[in-house]
Amino acid sequence: MTEKENHGTNAILKIEGVSAGFGKREILSDVSLSVMPARIMAITGKSGSGKSTLLGILSGLLEPQSGRVLYNDDDILKWFDFKRSRFRNRHIGFIFQFFNLLPDMTAYQNILYPSALNVFSKDRRGDAEYLIRQMGLETIRNQYPSTLSGGELQRVAIARAIINKPKIVLADEPTGNLDEATANGIIDLFFEIKERYGISFVIVTHDHRIVERADVHYHLEDGRLSLISGKGSAGLRRFAQSGITTAAPKTKVAKKTAAKKTPAKKASPKKNSARKKIRK
């Protein structure tokens, strides 16, 4: 991974010189970033450092005060909302910390929803069935989100994010609300999806396990984005020193799921090795 990649020519999506803020408070200051194909990019930073704002700008949901957001060298900020929405629907998938499934739809309907908005999806039901099988969601396909566990909710959310075969999935703390075992499973799933479908992931996270395995790692601080590096680099040590630890379950759902599935103390060997790396 080189600095060159930051301004890569074969990037799927690029932001150039983006500045954003609320009132006088500047959140992002002259930020540039390129999302390369089939890569997993981790973005870390303190709370309120502008990570989610960055995701919003990347997806065209938020408009920066200055700068450009380029998709195929076309500035999406100049597009009408209708075109930007269509772009978001077809080329961007979203995964959130709190899953954000539509509560009045079943798991299957939630997965199907983005494809219903996409006129080019030819076999959307077939795709949904395939993803349900791939992600082991057969037993819960007709259940409503309120009856699902955190892991199940996140798997449904992932299936929903990739149903339209997007080029990029933007994930905002996807493991932040899951117990360790479930979180590991979800992280594995991200890498599997990346390998299988060539989808890039931009993951805003506090979770060191994602950072460890990510192809690229950026850190956001004082409105500036710094390329830290790839796996096992010195940058990762800096990240570890910044005090960020393994994400713990935060919500009731996550705690319940954690209690059900895996005892919290039982950490996987993989996780232990990751901890060791961070301690170094």
Partner 1 sequence: MIHIARNIFFIIKDSGRNIIGALISSFGILFLIAFLVLYLSFRDSVKDYVETNLFGKLAINEIKIFPKKSATDSFFSTASAVSGSISPETVKRVREMKDLASTYSVIRFDYDTRLRGELMGQAARMHVPVFGMERTFFKGKDPYWKTFRTAEPLPVIAPRFVFELLNNFLAATDLPTMTPETFRGFPMTLFVFTEDPKGKDIRNVTECAAHSFTDVLNLPGVIIPSDFIVEFCRKHQNDSGKYKRGYKYVMLVSSVRDVKRLPEVTRKLKSFGLAVESREDIAQKTNRVLEIIDDSSLVIIGILLILTVISIFNSYLTIVYTRAHKFSLKRVLGVSKIRIIFGFVFEAALIGVIYGALGFFIGTSLLDYFGKNVGRWIPALQHLYLARPGAGILVLALALSSAISSISALVPAVFASNINLFKAMKK
Contact status, residue 91 vs residue 71, Cβ threshold 8 Å: yes
By CB under 8 A, tell whether 4 contacts partner 1: no
Name which of residues 118 to 137 contact partner 1 (CB under 8 A).
118-119
Name which of residues 8 to 67 contact partner 1 (CB under 8 A).
52-53, 55-56, 59, 61-62
Q: What SS3 class is residue 59? A: coil
132: Cβ–Cβ under 8 A, 6 or more apart, which residues? 107, 108, 111, 138, 141, 159
By CB under 8 A, tell whether 85 contacts partner 1: yes
* CA 237 – CA 277 distance, rounded (Å): 8
Binding piece for partner 1, criterion CB under 8 A, among 7-15, 30-38, 81-89, 229-237 = 81-89
- For residue 97, the minimal CB distance to partner 1 (Å) is 8
Contact status, residue 203 vs residue 214, Cβ threshold 8 Å: yes
Give the residue, chosen from 71, 94, 201, 218, that forms a contact with partner 1 under the rule CB under 8 A: 94
Contact status, residue 35 vs residue 12, Cβ threshold 8 Å: yes
Binding piece for partner 1, criterion CB under 8 A, among 68-76, 110-118, 132-140, 212-220 = 110-118
* CA 14 – CA 33 distance, rounded (Å): 6
Summarize as ranges the residues that interact with partner 1 (CB under 8 A). Answer: 52-53, 55-56, 59, 61-62, 81-82, 84-86, 88-90, 94, 96, 98, 100, 102-104, 113-114, 116-119, 160, 172
